[in-house]
């Protein structure tokens, strides 16, 4: 082997196929000549046997030379020596890769030929190639070159363990390290291409290192090039295995990936707390890898569910159950390691966000695994006592049951299936882990960074969605204590104190800041540049607080839908008072706006059929900030979902009048059609529960009156005075509110007769 053949390469971002370019071969024709016509032709001349010997010797010399590679130092004194070493040796891997292609690329028609001699040559070729791969591939991913630093990374925590890794390398050195890693990845991709389906035998050794190298690091220039090369390598491995997508490869090999991640989480000597930078960094590296693997697994589960599994339902169900068990065990171990870092205050803001992302992805995996529908409301259901043989007296009451008219077309057999539910593949270990993660997310609701609070809110919403699914669908006759089915109620009860405290304090902060600044705020939830010491302006403070409060109301709505009337007291005593305060503040602003644009006129006695305008107005839009609008919409949406929940809506019947009267002024709020529509929807939901609770104020607002009782009032010429109600500032010249109130009255009259509770 002549070292003068070894090309010198550098990174090139413009090439989509490979970020490597030849320094002395600028022309594409020359590159094709050097690679295809010379090196691959050399491989074809050598054949499988001598080609394997050549490749093995080249790689052996390269790995031996790596032991004598100059040490990389932060003072840049060894940069020239390191660059000289790379110029001498890096091209050897490119030579080995192209000779490998030439020696083991099958000739056209060889795979389809049925001649005995051709089959014998093919088997001999495969044996030689597998032997070569078994000696080279594990060596590459475990070498020191594989772990060369490609960026100056500082693990920013509050602990002093990071001081041992406070080195800074020059950009030139980092770029050359990137070249080495990319060449190694491309060499592995070349092996995957020639191995074809035999690459399955080596996935246990190379798959996780490639995933780790692909996902590790922030989206910097060098890391981005490595990520593209790693994804290309994974795709080639998928195609070689006969799969269509990378997701299928990750899903089929998830057990090996999980086992590899568990091995990375083991600390020396059984220690619970990482004592060095590398140990702490490995935990976060495994966490990032797990997030990406879970994304791939979730996509594949969705794809499998969409395609259907006729004839494979049993094996597919067993596969999903095995997947769930291994992932639950890994998340438990990850949570255990991160818990110690959290308690020792070794996590920075990025670490907290990683924890929130881990929980969110885990919940989403369960939602996808069990086929939970996003647009469907799952509510906790009590066990059907009518089928309980220990209480036969309940059968006597079945004749008095009131059935839903919309459900009369459901067969009795189908109704029995719905009542019984089904046994879900869920166990106590899963529920225990859910409880731990939910408790952590509740704690993180009070974290100082808004992004982490919002992430914890989103994670809790996914968690309660799945727990509601269990409470609605799960039915295990052997579970006498109903432990799993009642989990949603238990978690609502345990999580509510934290959510209630956060809701109260946050609401007080927002109301206090509202009086200071009400100007429009444009907020981006990505990395905010506000300083932690509170140097941001008041408008920014109230804006970010409103965003988080809106997220809390969204979470509260999901918790109510999950638990039904179990949530009624919490809404009555903790949630509605907070909502009322914010609605009151907005109504005061609305009243001030209308008063400034209204000129009252004298109120004159009139007959009922006459129209006398109560005031005149100028057309002016009521202006509120973007975050105020988002908060009000979140409150109205939460009210809609809570009142629309059948059991909870009936349980808070005494509050419906107060809620409805508070919403009436929003029916004609100028310039905000979305708020008007939400208010109308909420009033309609109230009327479905009690159609008469808002009848009188609606009649007053639309200018009608309750018919007189002729027995009591004999003089029909006397018409009561229509006055302006101070609670509802009516703009009679604008017919919007009168028309909408009339429509709501017609809606109330169209409702069927309601039962009395």
598-600 and 615-617: which strand pairing? antiparallel
Rounded Cα distance between 244 and 240, Å, is 10
Mean pLDDT of the 456-473 span: 88
Contact of 393 with 481, CB cutoff 8 Å = no
Q: How confident is the model at residue 756 (pLDDT cuts 50, 70, 90)?
A: low
Residue 206 pLDDT: 92
Structure tokens at 262: 């568990």
The pLDDT tens digits of the residues spanning 102-133 come to: 888 765 445 555 567 777 888 888 899 999 99
Q: What is the mean pLDDT of the chain?
A: 75
Catalogue the E-assigned strands of 408-517. none
Rounded Cα distance between 505 and 510, Å, is 9
**C-alpha 420: how far from its chain's center?**
32
Is residue 198 packed enough to be buried (19+ CB in 10 Å), middle (13-18) or exposed (0-12)?
middle
20-22 and 598-600: which strand pairing? unpaired
Rounded Cα distance between 455 and 367, Å, is 17
Taking the CA atoms of residue 87, residue 90, residue 91 and residue 97 in that order, the dihedral angle to the nearest 10 degrees is 180
The number of beta carbons lying within 10 Å of the beta carbon of residue 113 is 13
Q: How confident is the model at residue 86 (pLDDT cuts 50, 70, 90)?
A: confident
Contact of 360 with 459, CB cutoff 8 Å = yes
Where is pLDDT greater, at 266 or 715? 266
Rounded Cα distance between 701 and 738, Å, is 6
Using alpha carbons, select from 613, 610, 603, 612 the residue that is nearest to residue 719. Answer: 610
Rounded Cα distance between 582 and 630, Å, is 12
Residue 278 pLDDT: 66
Taking the CA atoms of residue 460, residue 462, residue 465 and residue 466 in that order, the dihedral angle to the nearest 10 degrees is -110
Structure tokens at 76: 């840049």
615-617 and 20-22: which strand pairing? unpaired
Residue 26 has pLDDT above 70, yes or no: no
Contact of 122 with 64, CB cutoff 8 Å = no
Residue 41 pLDDT: 84
H helix count then E strand count, the chain: 26, 4
Q: How confident is the model at residue 634 (pLDDT cuts 50, 70, 90)?
A: very high
Mean pLDDT of the 438-463 span: 90
Where is pLDDT greater, at 121 or 680? 680
Question: Which pTM does this prediction carry?
Answer: 0.75
Q: Between helices 116-141 and 203-215, what is the axis angle to 10°? A: 50
Q: DSSP of 660-698, one letter per residue?
A: HHHHGGGGG-TT-HHHHHHHHHHHHHHHHH-TTTTHHHH
Residue 447 has pLDDT above 90, yes or no: no
Residue 421 has pLDDT above 70, yes or no: no
- Which has the minimum average pLDDT: 67-81, 162-176, 403-417, 547-561? 403-417
The pLDDT tens digits of the residues spanning 557-594 come to: 999 988 888 899 999 999 999 999 998 888 887 777 66
Contact of 202 with 134, CB cutoff 8 Å = yes
Using alpha carbons, select from 560, 590, 585 the residue that is nearest to residue 575. Answer: 560
Calculate what percentage of the chain has a pLDDT beyond 90. 19
The pLDDT tens digits of the residues spanning 137-164 come to: 999 998 888 888 777 654 444 443 444 4
Residue 512 pLDDT: 85
Q: How confident is the model at residue 76 (pLDDT cuts 50, 70, 90)?
A: low
Q: What are the CB-based long-range contacts (under 8 Å, 24+) for 238-246?
A: 240/192, 240/193, 240/195, 240/196, 240/197, 240/199, 241/197, 241/199, 241/200, 242/197, 245/300, 246/296
Rounded Cα distance between 58 and 136, Å, is 11
């Amino acid at each position: 082997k002549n070292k003068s053949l070894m090309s010198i390469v550098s990174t090139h971002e413009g090439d989509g196929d490979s970020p490597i370019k030849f320094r002395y071969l600028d022309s594409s024709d020359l590159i094709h000549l050097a690679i295809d016509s010379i090196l691959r032709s050399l491989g074809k001349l050598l054949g499988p046997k001598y080609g394997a010997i050549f490749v093995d010797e080249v790689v052996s010399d390269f790995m031996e030379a790596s032991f004598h590679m100059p040490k990389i130092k932060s003072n840049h004194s060894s940069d020239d020596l390191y660059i000289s070493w790379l110029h001498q040796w890096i091209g050897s891997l490119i030579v080995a890769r192209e000779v490998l292609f030439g020696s083991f690329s099958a000739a056209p028609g060889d795979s389809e030929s049925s001649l005995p001699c051709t089959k014998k040559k093919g088997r001999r070729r495969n044996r030689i190639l597998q032997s070569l791969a078994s000696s080279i591939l594990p060596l590459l991913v475990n070498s020191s070159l594989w772990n060369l630093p490609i960026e100056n990374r500082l693990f920013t925590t509050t602990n002093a363990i990071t001081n041992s890794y406070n080195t800074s390398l020059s950009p030139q050195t980092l770029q050359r390290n990137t070249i080495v890693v990319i060449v190694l990845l491309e060499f592995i991709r070349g092996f995957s291409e020639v191995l074809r389906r035999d690459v399955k035998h080596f996935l246990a050794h190379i798959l996780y290192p490639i995933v780790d190298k692909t996902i590790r690091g922030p989206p910097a220039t060098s890391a981005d090039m490595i990520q593209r090369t790693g994804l290309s390598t994974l795709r080639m491995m998928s195609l070689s295995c006969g799969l269509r997508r990378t997701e299928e490869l990750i899903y089929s090999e998830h057990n090996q990936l999980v086992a590899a991640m568990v091995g990375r989480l083991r600390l020396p000597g059984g220690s619970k707390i990482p004592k060095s930078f590398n140990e702490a960094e490995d935990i976060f590296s495994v966490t990032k890898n797990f997030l990406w693997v879970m994304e791939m697994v979730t996509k594949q589960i969705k794809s499998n569910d969409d395609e259907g599994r006729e004839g494979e339902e049993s094996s597919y169900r067993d596969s999903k159950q095995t997947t769930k068990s291994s992932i639950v065990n890994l998340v438990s171990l990850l949570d255990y390691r991160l818990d110690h870092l959290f308690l020792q205050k070794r996590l920075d803001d990025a670490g907290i966000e990683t924890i929130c992302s881990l929980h969110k992805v885990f919940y989403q995996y369960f939602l996808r695994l069990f086929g939970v529908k996003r647009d469907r409301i799952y509510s906790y259901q009590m066990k059907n006592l009518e089928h309980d043989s220990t209480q036969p007296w309940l059968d006597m009451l079945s004749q008095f049951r009131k059935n839903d008219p919309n459900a009369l077309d459901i067969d009795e057999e189908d109704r029995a299936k719905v009542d019984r539910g089904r046994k879900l593949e869920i166990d106590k270990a899963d529920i225990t882990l859910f409880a731990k993660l939910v408790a952590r997310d509740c704690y993180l609701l009070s974290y100082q960074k808004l992004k982490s609070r919002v992430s914890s809110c989103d994670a809790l919403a996914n968690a309660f969605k799945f727990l509601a699914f269990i409470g609605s669908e799960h039915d295990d006759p052997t579970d006498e204590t109903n432990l799993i089915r009642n989990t949603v109620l238990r978690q609502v009860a345990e999580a509510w104190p934290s959510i209630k405290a956060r809701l109260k304090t946050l609401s007080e902060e927002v109301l206090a800041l509202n009086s200071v600044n009400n100007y429009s705020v444009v907020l981006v939830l990505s990395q905010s540049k506000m300083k932690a010491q509170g140097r941001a302006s008041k408008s920014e403070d109230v804006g970010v607080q409103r965003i988080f409060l809106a997220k809390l109301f969204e979470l509260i709505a999901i918790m109510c839908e999950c638990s039904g009337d179990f949530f009624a007291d919490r809404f009555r005593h903790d949630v509605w008072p907070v909502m009322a305060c914010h609605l009151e503040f907005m109504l005061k602003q609305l009243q001030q706006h209308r008063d400034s644009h209204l000129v009252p006129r004298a109120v004159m006695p009139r007959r009922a059929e006459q129209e006398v305008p109560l005031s005149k107005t100028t057309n002016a839009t009521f202006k509120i900030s973007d975050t105020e609008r988002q908060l009000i919409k979140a409150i109205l949406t939460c009210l809609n979902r809570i009142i629309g929940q059948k059991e909870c809506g009936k349980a808070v019947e005494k509050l419906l009048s107060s809620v409805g009267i508070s919403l009436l002024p929003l029916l004609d709020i100028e310039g905000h059609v979305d708020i008007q529509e939400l208010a109308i929807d909420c009033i309609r939901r109230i009327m479905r529960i009690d159609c008469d609770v808002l009848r009188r104020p609606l009649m007053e607002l639309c200018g009608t009156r309750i018919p007189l009782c002729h027995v009591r009032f004999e003089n029909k010429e006397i018409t009561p005075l229509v006055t302006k109600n101070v609670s509802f500032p009516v703009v009679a010249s604008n017919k919007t509110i009168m028309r909408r109130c009339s429509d709501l009255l017609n809606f109330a009259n169209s409702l069927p007769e309601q039962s009395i509770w």
